[in-house]
Structures are given as C-alpha cells and as structure tokens.
Structure 1
Amino acid sequence: MEDFRRTYLRVCKEGGVEPQESILAQLQGSRGALESSRLDLRGHSLSADTCSVLGRVLRKDTLFIELALSDCMLSEEGAKLLLNGLCANTTVKVLDLKGNNLRSTGAEALGKLLATNKTLRRLVLEWNALGMWDEAFSIFCEGLASNTNLSQLDLRNNQINHQGASELSLALKRNSTLQELDLRWNNIGLLGGRSVLEALQHNRTLVQLEMAGNNIPSDTLKALEQAMEHNSDRQSTLRESRSRTQVLSKEIQILKEEKGRQFLNLMETIDKQRDEMGRSSRSASTSIHVGQLQEALNDRKSVVNSLTAKLQMTEAALTLSEQKNHNLQELLGRLKSEKDEQRNRQSRERKKEQEDSVLREGKLLREMNNMSETSLQLKNKVDEMERRCKTQQDVIFELKQELTNSTAELKLRLAQAEERLDLERKRSKQAVEDIDGLRQKEVDHVNRHLEESERGLQERILKLEGQRIHLEEELSRAKAACVTERAQADEEMGKVRSQIRLEEQQNVSALEDKLRALRQSRDESQSHCTQQKQSIAELQARNSQQSLEMDGLRRRIDELQQELSGKDQERVAEVSRVRVELQEHMGHLQAERTAQGGLKEKIAALEREMKGVSSSHREALLDRESEIASLCEKLRLRDAEIQRMREDEAQRASFLQSAILTYVQGSPLHYSPKK
C-alpha cells in the first residue's frame, strides 16, 4: 500500500497535478492485511485529473485485486481516462462503478475495457445510465461479446430499453463465460424479454439472471427461469462429466506410470540375470546352478505374464470406461432428440390450440359486436319512444293549460259583466221584462256552447290519453320484441331490423298525423275562443244598451251563477276523476318500469355470465401458455398477437359494460301529473 502511495505521489508530481487529500488519507488508513488487496475509494469525489493519475498508476499496478469506485461522481472524461488505464491492468478482478452516472463515453470506455482486459471477473455498474444512448451501449455489448473472462455483471437501474436488450442478447449469444447477469429495474419490456429469451437458447453458460421490475409478462419470466434451470442443469452435468473424465484420465495416467515402472523393473531384472548367467558361464558353474537360473527365469516370465495380464485388465477397464462415456453421450443425444420431438409435438399442439382459441375468440367477438349493435339499437328505440311520450305529455299539458286559461278568462269576463251590471242597474229596470225571453235564449245558447267546448276538450284529452296508452303498449311490445330479438339475434337480425324500421316509420307517420290533427284542433279551439270573445263583447254591448232590464237580469244572473257553480263542481269532479285515472295509469307505468328493471337485471346476469366465460377462457389460455412457454420458440409472435387480441377484447368488453351500465343507470321515465 505504501508503494502505491509513493507511486501515486510521483505520478502526480510528474503530471503537475495536486494530490487529492481524501485519497491520501484513504491510502494511509488502509494498511491492514485485509485491505492490502482492496482499494476502497467509495464516496470520494474524483476529478478528471485524479482519474487520469489513477489510470496511469493502475496500468502497471500488481497489488490490488478489488477496486471500489462507487458514488465517486466521475465525469465522462475522468471515467474514460480511468478505464483506459485499467485496460492494461493484470491483477484487478473486481471493479465496482456503482452510482457514477456513466453515459455514452463511459459505455464506450467500458466496452473497450471488456474487449482488452483479460483478468476482470466481476463488474458492478448499478445506478448508471448506459442504456440511454443506443450506439454507445452497442459498443459496450460488443466488448462484452468478445470478453472471455468476465463471469458476473450487474446492470441494475441503467435505463436499458428493448433495443438495448436486443443488443445485449446478441452479445450473450457470442459470450461463453458470463455466468451471472443482473438486469433488474430497467425498461426492457415484452420485446426485450423475448430477445433475451431467444439469446438464452444459444447461450449455455449463463446460470443466474435477474429480470424483476422490467414490465415483462409473467409467462416470459417463467420461460426465462426455466431456461436458467436448463443452463444450470447443463452446467452441473458438464461439471460431472469433466470430473469423471479427470478421474479417468488420472487413473489412466497412474496405470501408465505403473506399467512403465513394472517394465523398467522387468528390464532391470532381465539384465541382472543376463549378467549373472555371463558370470556363471565364465566361472564354469555346474548345471545345477543353470537349472536354478532357468527356474528363476521361468518365475520372472510368470511375473511378466501376470503383469501383462494386469495391463490387459487395465486396458479393458479403460475401454469399458470409454464405452460407458460413449453410451452416456449417446443417451444424452437420444434424450436431446426426444426432447426436441416432444418440443415439436407440443409446439404443434400449441399451434392447434391457439388456432382453436383464435376461432373461438373471433366467434365471441362477433357475438359481442352483434349484441352491442342490438343493445345500441334498442337503446335508441327506447330513447325515441321516451321522447315521443314526453312530447305527448307536453301537448296534454298545453291543452290543459289552455282550458284553465279559458275558464279563468270566462270567470274574469263574468266578474266584469257583474260590475257593469251593477253600474247600469238603474237604467236597465224597465227593459228587463221585454228582453227576458231573448236574454234567456242567448244565455242558454252560451251555456250550451261552453258545455260543448268543455266536452270537446275533455274528449280530446281522453283521446290523447288513449294515444299515450297506445304508445306505451307499443313500447312494451317493442321491449318484448327486443327480448325475443336478443334470443334470436344470430338468425333473425336482418328481419327484425327491417320490421323495426317499418314500424318506426309507420309510428312516426302516425304520430305526425296525430300531431297535425292536434294542431288543427288547437287552431279550431283558438278560433272558437275568439268567436266566443266576440259574442261576449256583443252581449256586453247589448247589456249596456238595455239598462232597463237590470233587476230581472240580476235575478237571472244569480240563477246562472248557481248553475255555473254546479257546473264548476261537476268540472272539479271530472278533473278529480281524470286525476285518479292518471294515477292508475302511473301505477301501470310504474309496474312496467319494475318489469324493465327485471329485464335490466337479466341483462346484467347475462353480462356476468359472459365475463365469467371470458375470464375462464383467459385463465385456461394463461395456464396453457405457462405450461409450454419454454418449448414454444417459434410461437412468440403469435403469443403477442393473442395478447393484443385479448386486450382488444377486454377493451370492447369494458366499452360494452360501460354502455350497458350507462343504459341501466340512466334516468328512468318520471311521469308527474300536472296540478
């Protein structure tokens, strides 16, 4: 650590850079045995000049194995200089650059570092912004693809989108050493997740992948987990096979060494025997000694034969192990072929099921569209019938108002006549007896005319009530026809539409005729009222001229007032009777409204059934997709189409639900009799 400090001070002096006090304090305080291989500069703000000096020092440094530079607020230029210095480093295996906001220049420098450095094993890049620039991130991915030493990479919170994920997937296809990759809390999305899943079909070394917080669907995450499980199983089988091959190779090497030693020992014994035989022949030993030597030679031959037998047994064991290895490879090949066949079979089944599901979804969509069209048409028809009922009620109210206005005007005119008669009482005393008969006839004529006008107006009111009842009956019949149309929507839609249009045209024409007739009757009543006004004016003129008839006229007027009070009582009774009838009619309308509420509840029940069917269908699709997601590489685009169709279906269902809810929750008909 002291050597590194001296080197740092020397390079600062050579470059004319002021040494950073925080770094010197850190180097002085990290002289323990545990810190001798770790340079911890976390939280220190490093300037560009300091980064340049550290890059030059670390270029030839052989002391540190781990370099912690998290939250150092590195600038783009400072990060570039520091990483360029680390390109030539041969000892640093762990590099932590967390929270330095590295962007385009930093991504390019990291790509160069990964492409040139041969010792780095773990790289932490959490809380940076490497994915914001596609070109720079592609350079980083190129360096990762060419790297042959990195085994752990942390890219959390780096704003990597689906394009960056596709670049990273291309790098993973070429990389063969990376084992752990952390991509949590980025913006990879559905397309990026699928590209990573496709890359895992080619990458066999990645055994740990974290993808949480990337807006990736659950089926894609499950497929990624299954791919990781396959890779981990594959790595475990490879490690086992390698360990077995190492054990077998060690055993073979030991057998070869033993065979060589035994052969050398045999050659030494043969040479010794030859020397002994030569010495014995030179010393002319006896034939007994030769026989002993021959026996010894035979013993040596038996030993050699036993050794050769052992060698053959070891060779047989070696061939047997090789045969077992070959059988295991064949078994692995057969398992792979069976797995491929099963995958193809399941993909064909999946394709067939998806085609069936597409057909079913299309049928359901057509049915839902038909139902929505019929519901809209029925809603429009009900609104039109309600508007017609409201117009009829307005006409009835106008007629009643005219009747009350006419009666009030008549009463006012009678009061005025009484006042004038009081004023002209003295002048009309003498002419009462002469014109009593004429006045009686005129008053009877006026009374009859008033009674006829009131009777006509009441008949018109009754006719309008009957027309309203007829319209309400037509509305109930239309609602019943709507229910039957909903039951037979698929077969009789065209006929019912044409019939409804014809009925609507006929009803419109009939209502227009009735409105014209009502307008004509109103015009006639107005003209008749004007005539009545003229006749009353003439009567008033005659009353002014005939002042002598005042006493008899007064008595007659009293009688007429009594008759008018009786008629008013009769009119009040008639009006009360009409009100009772209107209340009864309102009760009928209320009953019909309750029947409409029952129909609405039935519609809601049908909608709930449709929702249950769609939800069960959606759950079945999700279950099927989760079961065979890892085996359907060629059907991902089809899954995206199904997902979009499902979203469209949910959107249409929501639109239909909102439309029916607005129809159900709409303001019902309120019939309030006019006081």
Structure 2
Amino acid sequence: MAQVDENHLYRDFCLRKNYPLEPSVKQALKNASVTGDFDVSGHPLGIETCEAIAYVLAKSDNLVTLNFTDCMLNPTCLNIIFEALISSKNIKELNLYGNNITTHVTVRLGKLLAHNSSIKTLILKWNNMGVSLDSFSTFCSGLKENQTLENLDLRNNQISQQSAKEIADALRVNTSLKHLDLRWNSIQNEGAEELLKSLEENQTLMTLQLRGNFVHREILIAIEECLKNHVSVLKMSTDHVVKTEILINHIKSLEETKTKQLTKITEAANKHMKEAEKRLSEIMEENRTMQKQIGTLEEQVFTYKTKHKNEKQRAEALEEAIKEREASIKEQMTNYQNTIEKLQKSLQMKELEQLKQVNTTQEKISNEKEVIIKLENDLAIEKQTCMNLRSELAQLKSQYDTKTKHLEENYEMDKKIWQKKYQELEAATESKIEKIRTLSSEKQQSLENTIMELTERQSNKVLLINDRIERMKQEKRMIEEQLQSAQGTVVQLQRENSSLISQVAEPARKLTSLLEELSNEKMQNQQLKHEKMEERKSREILQNEYETSKKEIMSLKSMYNNQEMHFEQEIKDMRHRCKHLEAKLEERERKIANIRHEEKARAKLLHSAFSKYWDRYHPSSGES
C-alpha cells in the first residue's frame, strides 16, 4: 500500500467514532508505511486508540512488526489487539515488553498462538505471565498448536517449576520454535530437568537460555550439549539434502542423455521405415506395370487361340468338303493327298515352332519365378532387419530400465547409509555452542527458502520427465503400429506375388534394375551396421560418464569428511574461547563482589562517623 494509506485509515476511523488523534500513533504509521515497523514504545495507549490500531491492522498489509514496549496496555486494549492479530497474515514480530500481562491476557495470548500463522517472533519479557498456573497452561497449549513461532522471549515472568513443566510439554509437541529465552525466572533444578527431558524429543530448538533461574551448572551443561547435538544434526541433514539434490540432478542429466540417444535411434528407425515404405510403393508400382503387361500378353494369347480355332474350323470344313467330293473327285485324290501331306508337314512345322515358343515362354516364366523368389527372400531379409531393429530397441529400453533401477537402488542405499549416520549422530553428539547456534539460526531461513525452491524445481523436472516418458511410449506404440501395418503390406505383397507367379511373366529388361535396387539395399544395410557401431560407441561413452560421476561422488564424500573435521576443529576452538570467556566472567564477578564489599565497609564507616557526629553535637537527643 501507499505511504498515506495507513494514516488515512486511522483518521477516517477516528473521525467516524469521534476519537482523538494520537500524534505518536500518526508518526509510527508514517514510519511503518516506509519500513513496515510500527513502533509506539514508551507511549501509553487507551482503549480508543487501540481500537483504531486494530482497525488499521485488519485493513493494512504493509505492517510487519509491532512494538508495544512499555505502553501500559490494560487487558481490554490487549484483547482488542489480539482479536485483530488472529486473522492477520503479514505480522512477523510482536513485542509486548513491560505491559503487566497477567492471567486473562495470558489465556488470550494462548488462543492467539493457536490461531495465528504468521508471527515468528514474540517478545513477552518483564510481565507476570507465570503468576497463575492455569492461565499459563492455556498459553502453553496454544504454543503446542502453533507451527510458525520461532523466537519466544519470556524473561522475568515469574515462571515457576510447574510452569516450566508446562513449557516442557509444549516443546515435546512444537516443531517450529528455535530460540527460547527463560532467564531470570524461578524454574530451578526440577523445571530445568523437565526441559532437558523435553529436548530429547524436540529436535528443532537451537537455543535455550536459563541464566538466573537457580539451576545447577551440570544441568545447564547437559542442556547446552543437547542443543549442540540439535545444531550438528540439522547441519548434517542440510548437507545430506544438498548432496541428494546433486545426485538427483546428475541422474536426471544421465536420463536426458539417454532419452536423446533413444530419440536418435527412433529417428533412424523411422527413416528406415520410410525408406522401406518407399521401396514397397515402388514394388507396388512395378507390380501394376507387370499386371498391365500380363493383360496385354493375355490378349495376344487370346487372339492367337481364336486364330488357331478359326484355322481348325477351316480345316474341318475342308475335310468335310473333301469327303463329300470323294466320289466325284477320286482321280484328283492323289494330287490332293500330296498337297494335304505337304500342308500337314507345314502344319507340323508350325506346331513345332509354336511348341518351341511355348517352351521358351515357360523358361522365361521359370526365370521370372526365380526372380520373384529372390525378391521374396530380400523382403524376408528386410523383415528380419526390421525385427532386429525392434529387438535392439527393446534391448536398449531394457538396458535403460536396468540402469535407472540400478541408479535408484544406489540412491536408496546412499539414503539408508545417510539415515544410519544421522541416527548415530543423534545418539552420539552431545555438544553445542551459542555462537554456532546463532549463525545456524540466521542461515536456516535462507536455506529453507532455497530448499523450497529446489523441491519445486525438482517436482517440475519430475513431471517433465514423466511427460517425456509417456511421449516415448506413445512414439513406441506408433512405431509398433507402423511395423504391424508394414508387416500386413508385406503379407499382402507376398499373396499378390504368389498369385502372380502362376500368371505373370516379367520381362527380362527389369532384372538389371532389380539387381541395382538389391545392391542399393545392401548399401543401406551397411549404413545400418555403421549406425549400430556408432550406437555401441555412444553406450561406451555413457559408461565412461557414469564412472566419472562415481568418481565425483567419491570426491564429494571426501570433501564432506574434510568439512566434518574442519567443523570439529572449530567447535574445539569455540569451546576454548567459551572457557576463556567464563574465566573472564568469573574474574569480573569477583571484582564486583570486592567492590560491593568495599562499598559496604565504606557505608559502615560513614554510618559510624555520622552517629559519632550526631552524638557529639546533639547529646540531648542521644540521651533521650
């Protein structure tokens, strides 16, 4: 929203209700419109101004932090503000330092925590929340239900041992709280022990401050060790997540390369299928031309048969005429017999020539049958090549599936190993330092954002891979359907060829062209063999890439071990620094104790001197 919008809302509400305008609230809203921080600390606020502030909170989306430090808010004012914050989604920090929060307000705070899902930092120091155990238990029940609060400050709230037990019960359920400040209360040893027990179940809390609660040093050290364990476990889990993401990205790159190779293979198969279809179309055209030639030959044979029948009919007619005229023409029989014998000889010669022609045509038909058989063999060879291509595609798919399964198994094995290491670290690690905790808490937010982005990218990539796999399956189905259709066309061609064998006599001119086409097909087969050799080489390249990826994983593991050693050394250094700081603190406390002792001695001296002076100058009052 704009800079003036919050002030405009505040003025409209006050004018409608006839409420006075507070200059401190106006200035705070001006600053909040720029920075998002609404700060009215040190200014007492009444019920009317709190109603106006609640109205602005309900309408505005620009406010992020609220600071009500030392505002002397009564329970009704606090309830009004809490009602506005229950449905708010933009407030990240709420500061109620020094507002004398007691029983009823504590209950309302618990309800606010149970329903609000935006507040991450809640400052409640210097209040009286621990006075009533029942109200504090309701506050802790709201903390149980809350899943967004990360920082909680409860300093100087009169929290007792039993109240600390309620906090411990809440920590067993809550998974979002990371920093808890309980300094200067009355938790004592029993409450601290309950908190320590709750930390065994809670793995998200990073810092827990218990100074000024009359707690033994051993319990404090145990709590610090447990929190150190939490930090180290969180660091290990983040490293594990990063490495698993690296492995997943590498696996995806391998899958992409494999899909590219499969697309190349399918493109080559499609090209081969298109060439085979072209070849089949050419053969169909040749068969059509052959059918036309067969029709012309059949017409010629039909005309020849009709001529032969006509000649036979004429011969029969002549024989009948000769038989009728035998009586009248006996003298000319000898001449006619000679002529008839000559004609018969000529007819025999013609019949022999016709038989020779028929034999030659039969030889041609047999030769053409052999050519057709060769063509059928070539078609069978092409069919076998297609089947071999299909088998090679199936083998490549099976190899791809086996490789993916192997990679998934390796991923699951690595995951199990890391889980075991994680459990061992949970059982073993018991040390932690406050500086490392603060650094990890500051960096954790950025890491969580990056993790969310990476998970979203990963899910999108997984969806894309699934879509590509489905597309590959559909393309495979299309190829199989094309192969089935090609097989059907081949079967039809075989049937047509078998029907043509008994009828067709292909001319000898086309034998040379067929031989040339066969030589071209041989060249194509050689090209296919060359492509297979290239595919083998690509497989070897993939295997080499897989080995390099293994080496990279080993190097990452070694880097991880080196980082672990480095972190252990840093932890040792920090321990040494903490010991040094503790020694300095002890020296300062000694100096402070000495100064106090000296001040007490001086006060005694002054008191004795003043009493002597009084007795000297006022003896009557001393006697009385």
> So what's the TM-score if we normalise by structure 2?
0.49
Which protein shows a greater Rg? 1
